[in-house]
Copies of this chain bind each other. A is one copy, B any other.
């Protein structure tokens, strides 16, 4: 019996597909803008990213903020030439993204069930409260979790607060997720453990992190089927 008491799971791109739908939204957005500007110079993607980064401080994460940033980008890049009809199509991209199907990643249900047999498990997911709750409900996984936390930012203070509410020491906590920046780095900084399960696409703003090459408290896996063994590995070292 190891010393790990609670295991945390990220939601987007760890339990279910998410970034793919954002990429689709960006493609649909580009297709609308292509009627107004030359997309060859990559100005559009950079402008959207800059707008999103600036707006994050006011809008926070999530599809609604992305949609407002897209509208702003479209208006600015077209020098206000874009039609109301096309801006309505941008709003519809947001509505479609908010209602995307919740597709579980391969093997994740079995992995969550296996880990829940021996541990308390918590879902810690970032973004828009309303949309995250809708996805959690649709995932069919809600009942497996002993606790669900939707947070506005995944940083050291947030994890410190959640671990305090769970009454667990960082050394007894493992976080599983696809983002080194949001799921792994802050938990490691607190003295906890991380299991990194990369997803095939990562949002540009999630790629920035300060982790070095060799992090002793970090294990990497290539898919959900490897999660129970990775956790057992950590158990052996934390016990």
Contacts and interface: CB of A to CB of B under 8 A. Distances in A.
B88 A75 contact: yes
Contact of A58 (B62, B82, B87, B98): B98
A94 interface: yes
Contact of A83 (B61, B80, B85, B95): B80
Contacts of A42: none
A128 B133 CA distance: 12
Tell me the number of copies of this protein.
2
A75 B85 CA distance: 7
A223 interface: no
Given A84-B82, A130-B59, A152-B133, A91 B64 contact: no
A64 B72 contact: no
A150 interface: yes
A98 B65 CA distance: 12
B84 A78 contact: yes
A81 interface: yes
A25 interface: no
B129 A99 contact: no
10 contacts: A60-B129, A62-B130, A64-B65, A67-B68, A68-B68, A75-B87, A75-B88, A75-B91, A83-B84, A133-B152
